[in-house]
Structure 1
């Protein structure tokens, strides 16, 4: 972490960027392809017949191919430009920590319940349906080691990788194409929600995606979005642990 002064948008020079949506498309395709292939091989070798059979340690390992696809695209784009730190604003400062965590917790425990109150009433779904994907993962966590591993996946790994790819590479590529900031924010949030492939969870993912994308545009860095993402995901893990 740093707390060095600097102009937040000094690294954003869209006209000079030699990377763009091509690297984004590559990242999407590579991440999904590697994840599918790795999961298929692992299930075949281990004899798992359904995804629910995959233990937590294996689920953690199988995130590596998915994240590898995203990070490969980020790295390739960084090589074409001035590097990941400068081009995508990978700059976390101490002053990002407290407000970022607080905003992430607030969105999770205050905003999302209000958001889903009318949605659940209109659709007939329940809170159990809404939390089913998270519970499926937490059910695999047995004992302290399992919960530590789950936390590393959800609270540490996912925020860093996803912010680099979505709010770093993808959002900046949309801006490079000439989209106004508001359109880039909305589109980035929509795609972020959609690629989780969980229709009922999409509204919540879209909302947190809006918050994270706005922060990235407003500050010109990924520090605040990363810490907000950490707070958001950490709250989910804590709630799952308390209710397990």
Structure 2
């Protein structure tokens, strides 16, 4: 089976939208996984996070007081979940390149950067607006709150920056716009359905009720990159770019540079 090729959106917006509606993804021959795989991956993510938090609590550590607990509780579950998603594609399918559309071409990078810049603009505006509505404290994630604590150990601050800017986005894309998107496609649903469902579940699954609407805004441009190019690589680039500048700003803040 040949590797899937990404689609370069070069025919204009209207024609691109028509192509999305007219041309669903080709049948996934050999894929023997679906929504059950996504639910298993999410269960591993949640249970491992709960386990790590419980172990930390047994030693008197809390998410509010322990940067190490936040770091381990963020890194380990998402990496376990993404790793399991990739393993599933090998065991029950054709591997991540075919099943998850996990490839990266020059066109993917260029389009991902373009849509990522657009996403940054919307994210900053949405974050400002959301912060004025619910208050700045309620609009900040757990990682953001920890970053805002100045004088973090340099190693911890750098590791959190790498997680926020690279590891987190890559793993989340594998899980949501890779595994979940592929499960939707296997049902024969449209690419639009995959886009809407993965966007909503991505926002809700963060379990941050105060930030759900903001996460929806963040997720839309990233999902558009996957929708138009049919490549997970493009959405990964868009997601990394969306997180990179905020992550860098928080890193500089946490080490006292700004």
**TM-score, scaled relative to structure 1:** 0.82
| Matched residue SS, 2:103 | coil
| Contact 2:176 2:198 (8 Å CA) reproduced | yes
User: Aligned ranges for residues 187-206 of structure 1 at < 5 Å?
Assistant: 187-206=197-216
Aligned to 1:30: 44
Pick one of 116, 130, 136 that aligns with 1:127: 136
Deviation of 1:180 after TM superposition, in Å, equals 1.7
Aligned to 2:72: 61
Deviation of 1:113 after TM superposition, in Å, equals 4.1
| Matched residue SS, 2:102 | coil
| Matched residue SS, 1:14 | coil
Pick one of 120, 123, 129 that aligns with 1:112: 123
| Matched residue SS, 1:53 | coil
Deviation of 1:89 after TM superposition, in Å, equals 1.2
- CA deviation vs aligned residue, 1:101-121 (integer Å, no higher than 9, x gap): 45324323x213444566556
Deviation of 1:227 after TM superposition, in Å, equals 0.8
Aligned to 2:231: 221
Aligned to 1:90: 102
Deviation of 1:189 after TM superposition, in Å, equals 0.4
**RMSD over aligned Cα atoms:** 2.8
Pick one of 51, 57, 60 that aligns with 1:47: 60
| Contact 1:101 1:232 (8 Å CA) reproduced | no
Deviation of 1:191 after TM superposition, in Å, equals 0.4
| 2:246 paired with 1:236 | yes
How far apart, CA to CA, are the structure 1 residues paired with 2:105 and 2:135? 39
How far apart, CA to CA, are the structure 2 residues paired with 1:69 and 1:114? 31
| Contact 2:115 2:222 (8 Å CA) reproduced | no
How far apart, CA to CA, are the structure 2 residues paired with 1:35 and 1:132? 16
Deviation of 1:12 after TM superposition, in Å, equals 4.7
Aligned to 1:174: 184
| Contact 2:78 2:168 (8 Å CA) reproduced | no
| Contact 1:27 1:72 (8 Å CA) reproduced | yes
| 2:29 paired with 1:19 | no
How far apart, CA to CA, are the structure 1 residues paired with 2:26 and 2:116? 26
Deviation of 1:177 after TM superposition, in Å, equals 1.4
Aligned to 1:139: 148
**TM-score, scaled relative to structure 2:** 0.78
Aligned to 1:8: 6
How far apart, CA to CA, are the structure 2 residues paired with 1:28 and 1:199? 18
Unaligned runs of 5+ in 2: 8-24
